[in-house]
Each structure stands twice: as C-alpha cells, then as structure tokens.
Amino acid sequence: MKINGNVADLVLAQLAEWGVQRIYGVAGDAVFPLLDAMSRQDRIAFIATVHESGASFAASYEAALTGAPAVCAGTCGPGAVNLLNGLADAYVEKHPVLALTGQVATQKTGPGTPQYFDQQAVYRNFAECTCLLADPAATVDFLLAAFRKAVLTSSVVHLSLPKDILSAPVSADTCPAGAVQVTGPSPTCGDLPGVVSAVRSAHRPLVVMGRQARKVTDRVLRLAYILGAGLVLAQEAKGAVPGDHELNLGGVGEALLPPVVTEADCIVLIGGAPYEQPYFPPGAALVHLAERPGHLRRSVAAGAVGDLGLMLETVCRGLENHAPNRDWLDRVKAAAGTRPPDVPVAPGPMHPLHLMEELDKAIPEDAVISLDVGEFIHWFDRGFAGRRQDVLLSGQWECIGAGLPAAIGAKLACPDRTVVAVVGDGGFLLSMAELLTCVRYNVAVPVIVVKNGQYSLERNKMVAGKLNPFGIDLQNPDFVQFARACGAEGFRVEDITGIKDVLGAALGLGKPALIEVPAAAVDLPQTMPPWS
C-alpha cells in the first residue's frame, strides 16, 4: 500500500497492515502528530486510558491472551516513564508488546530541554530492543525490525519517535503482513534424551503445568499418566484440567501445600510457574520444557526449548514401557481426592476462601479471569477449581494494580468472551481511575473488589518474618458509590449465598460493573515453604 502523508500516517498504516487493531495510550505534546493521524483513519482504534501504566498493562495482557503483539503509546518525559511499569511486566512475563513513545524534536535533544531524557538508556532495562527513529525514510525498516523482534522473542520492543520526525512528509510503500509472520525457535533444541533419562529415573515425580502448556493439555496429561505423577497447575493454568481430576493436586502456595508435594524427587515443569517455584522441594531434580530460551530456568537437571507439543510427544515416546511407581501414584490419587480442611463460616466479613469457592460456581466456563496481586489469589489457588477458564496474572513482576487494565485489554481483544476482574482493594486503589476507561468504551467487565482494608499479604509476610506489621492499612472509599459516580453499576455483597446472583446480574447488564465484597483479613496457613 502506497502512503503519501507523514511518518505518523505511515506508522499507523503499517501497523494496521500487520493486524494491529488498537493502540492504548494517553495524549501528550510529543505524540500530537500520531493522534492527528489517528483521527484521519479508521483501521486502528485509539483506547485513551487514564494513565499510561493502564495502557501498558492493557497491552501486556491483550498480548498474553492473543499471542500477537499489542501496542501502547505515550508522550515523552513523564508519559514515557509512566509506561514502564506495564512494560516491565510484559518484559518479564514474555508478552509481545510494541511501545511507541514520543520524543522531543531532534534539534532540541539534550540536557536542559523540558521532558527530555535518554529513553534508550532507560528502556533497555525493559525491552529486547529500543531504537530512536532519526530518518523518515527508515520508518518501515524500523517498524519491521521491531515487530519481528517482538514476535520472535515474545517480549517488549520500543521505538522513540521525535515529534518533528512524526510530522515529516514521507512517500513509501507499507510492508505486507507476511514479512512479520516469522517463526519462533526451532521445534526442539536442548537435551531431550537427558529429559527422558531424568524423568525415567524419578520415583516420586510431579508434573507442573504452566500457562504456556494449556494448548497441549492432552499431552501434559498423557505424560502425567505415563510417569504416574501428580499434577500441579500454576495459577495461570487454572481450569485447563478439571479440579476434580484424579491426578490434580490443585495449586500450591501460601494457602495450600499438600504434603505429597514436599516429598517429590522430580519436578517436570512445562512452561512457567513463577509463583509456584519457591514451593518446589529443593532436593527435587528440576526438568524443564520451555517455549523459548529466555524462559528456561537456570538450574535444571535437564531441559529443552521449542514447541511444547512436539517435545512432549518425543518425551512420551522415549518413556515407552516405563513402569510408574504404583505406591506413589496411589498416594497422589489419594491426595488429589482429599480436600483441605474447610474454613467454618463465621459472622462478619467474608472469608476469602468462601468467596473463591462461590466464584468457582458462578464464573462461566471459558471465561477470562483477570487477577490482581494480593493475599486473595492464594485463596483462589485453594478454592477455585476452574473449568476451562483463562487466568491472567502478573506472576513474575507481581505488580498490584494490573488486574483491571489487564481485563480491559482482554475484553477488547476478545469481546465475545466473558471477562471478570478479581482485585484486592489495594490493587484497585492503584488503578480505579481505569473504571472510567471501561465506561468510556463500554468495556462490560464486572470488577470484584475484595475489600479487607489492608495489604494483608504484606501483613502476613511481616508477621512471619517476626516484624511489626506497619504501613499496611488502607483508607478506602465507598467503592459502590465511586462506581456509580463513574457511570458504572455498583453492588455490595456481604452474604456468600448472594454472589452468584449478583455476578450473574452484573454480567447481564452489558456495561461495566463493580461488586464490592467486604472480606476478612486472615492469616495464610503458611506464608513461606518449610525449607525457606
């Protein structure tokens, strides 16, 4: 496609050619030419978030859900800095994101210019590559290199676009979509024979399923049966295997650590499980199958990188005639069929475990669940069995405030799917303004706010470390009234029996809604693993 316009026109036309449907961002001087170009085309939508971190988190989790590069943008100076939190999340979580930041005009580059800083020096900490566009004629080449890098590395790439360059006239052809439809790593590379040998020699194996393995669930289960292994689902893999499956030990962490897990002598990790990693027994051999070299754990007994399905097929073939440890398998099945002790229902604020058990009944199959970070997610591990839902979570960066913008990105990318955000009050305070973004674009997401008035995970950890819990109390507003002031609907649920009906009503509204759930601040059964 021939573009006769300015660089901003060319950037948008090229991204549209490659399938980009929206750019999340916030207006600012240095990106005025890009916004002006946005107003003159209809192939890419501009999603104006309230804060740049909301834009970058939304892009991060659109990319996580779809697997395709998502795009966010911000102005120079504070705008470029504000984008960094969500981009850091995408970088460590390995989500393909293209970040576009405005920069001061080229003739003003240097110290003393308002809102100028060396973006490349800062962004190289959170991007696979970062470049400054200095020549309008190089626009397509720069975009092509960046987009390919995002696809190949499944990570963040960044382009600085000076304001005068964005406005510069250009006449150029866009590059076709096939140019960025590049393949990732070779089907397999690494020590697959070593993987087979390591798992064959295990007497008490566990298979840990990360989010990346959801698409090969059948082969994960086949391996678990061949090995006679217990199955542990990472938080982001919840729902891939039914909670009542005979090998499913559930999630592991602060709220649940079955004794059988602590006795494993081999952990077969398929994909990534950052939250669960500290709960792997230190004496167990770690065998890791990862999609990309950057995902592979450093300390492994054996590992390989590539297509997870092909690698699992190879490992399973290598284990033909393998005789599993029947005693271990019987113990695994007994543990999988044993529920942890129930928490009694008590008057007053709701126990978060009861909330998660009710949400397990209420959230539809095949929904997307966007979790924020906080104590409640460990009760989610224990109480939410899951049924084919996708779970989004800042598992590696562990950033509170990501849950609501992640839900925005998920719903816009997959408008036909049910998306539910579950956030703590601390995380919601950090991102509550993005409820206005939901209202502005009618992003029909119910946001469940678990309100206990404190950073209770931090309280748990400080107490476990024999420290005085200090600075952890929150000053909360009435979230229901806030939601209604924003133009969303607001509900409050104080009785666990009402959650299913209220969530169903919220999902039926076709508009954003907030459900405030007063919850108890409770102690986790164990804040740290026994060997820490």
Which one of 279, 307, 336 terminates a domain? Answer: 336
Which one of 302, 336, 370 terminates a domain? Answer: 336
Cα–Cα distance between 103 and 81 in angstroms, integer? 12
Cα–Cα distance between 58 and 53 in angstroms, integer? 8
Which one of 120, 146, 180 terminates a domain? Answer: 180
Q: Taking 70 as the threshold, does the pLDDT of residue 280 lie above it? A: yes
Q: Taking 80 as the threshold, does the pLDDT of residue 120 lie above it? A: yes
Within-domain flag for 171: yes
526: pLDDT confidence band, cut at 50, 70 and 90?
low
Within-domain flag for 476: yes
Q: Taking 80 as the threshold, does the pLDDT of residue 294 lie above it? A: no
* Residue predicted with more confidence, 276 or 183: 276
Q: Taking 80 as the threshold, does the pLDDT of residue 211 lie above it? A: yes
Let me know whether 116 and 53 are in one domain.
Answer: yes
List, for residues 505-521, the tens digit of each pLDDT value: 999 999 999 999 999 99
Let me know whether 284 and 404 are in one domain.
Answer: no
Q: Taking 70 as the threshold, does the pLDDT of residue 175 lie above it? A: yes
182: pLDDT confidence band, cut at 50, 70 and 90?
low
Cα distances (Å, whole numbers) of residue 250 to 40, 177, 257: 51, 41, 9
Please report the sign of the dihedral spanned by the C-alpha atoms of residue 63, residue 414, residue 410, residue 237. Answer: negative
Within-domain flag for 443: yes
Residues 6+ apart with CB under 8 A from 346: 520
153: pLDDT confidence band, cut at 50, 70 and 90?
confident
Give the DSSP per-residue string, 184-241. Answer: -S-SEEE-HHHHHHHHHT-SSEEEEE-GGGGGGHHHHHHHHHHHT-EEEE-GGGTTSS
Cα–Cα distance between 167 and 169 in angstroms, integer? 6
Tell me which residue range forms the domain holding 253.
188-336
Edge-to-edge, what's the strand order for the sheet holding 285-290? Answer: 188-190, 302-306, 285-290, 266-270, 205-209, 230-233, 248-250
| Helix 403-413 with 52-66: angle, nearest 10 deg | 50
Cα–Cα distance between 180 and 195 in angstroms, integer? 33
Let me know whether 404 and 510 are in one domain.
Answer: yes
Let me know whether 103 and 233 are in one domain.
Answer: no
Within-domain flag for 485: yes
257: pLDDT confidence band, cut at 50, 70 and 90?
confident
Can you give the pTM of this predicted structure? Answer: 0.92
Within-domain flag for 316: yes
Q: Taking 60 as the threshold, does the pLDDT of residue 285 lie above it? A: yes
250: pLDDT confidence band, cut at 50, 70 and 90?
confident
Let me know whether 92 and 122 are in one domain.
Answer: yes
Which CATH number characterizes residue 125's domain?
3.40.50.970
List, for residues 381-421, the tens digit of each pLDDT value: 888 988 889 999 998 899 999 999 999 999 999 999 999 99
Within-domain flag for 523: no
Count of domains for the chain:
3
Average pLDDT on 155-167 reads: 97
Give the DSSP per-residue string, 269-308. Answer: EES--TTTGGGS-TTSEEEEEESSGGGS-SS-SEEEEE-H
Q: Taking 70 as the threshold, does the pLDDT of residue 532 lie above it? A: no
Per the CB < 8 A criterion, the answer to whether 254 and 526 are in contact is yes
Let me know whether 165 and 197 are in one domain.
Answer: no
Per the CB < 8 A criterion, the answer to whether 179 and 202 are in contact is no
Average pLDDT on 484-493 reads: 98
Let me know whether 12 and 120 are in one domain.
Answer: yes
184: pLDDT confidence band, cut at 50, 70 and 90?
low
Q: Taking 90 as the threshold, does the pLDDT of residue 331 lie above it? A: yes
List, for residues 352-365, the tens digit of each pLDDT value: 999 999 999 999 99
Whole-number percent of the chain with pLDDT over 90: 80
Range scoring the smallest mean pLDDT among 30-44, 382-396, 437-451: 382-396
Q: Taking 70 as the threshold, does the pLDDT of residue 530 lie above it? A: no
Let me know whether 391 and 421 are in one domain.
Answer: yes
List, for residues 75-119, the tens digit of each pLDDT value: 999 999 999 999 999 999 999 999 999 999 999 988 889 999 999
Q: Taking 60 as the threshold, does the pLDDT of residue 185 lie above it? A: no
Let me know whether 25 and 169 are in one domain.
Answer: yes
Sort 397 into a burial class: Cβ within 10 Å, 0-12 / 13-18 / 19+.
buried
Please report the sign of the dihedral spanned by the C-alpha atoms of residue 257, residue 260, residue 265, residue 266. Answer: negative
Round the average pLDDT of the chain to a whole number and report it.
93
Average pLDDT on 51-60 reads: 98
Let me know whether 387 and 478 are in one domain.
Answer: yes
Which CATH number characterizes residue 255's domain?
3.40.50.1220
Within-domain flag for 7: yes
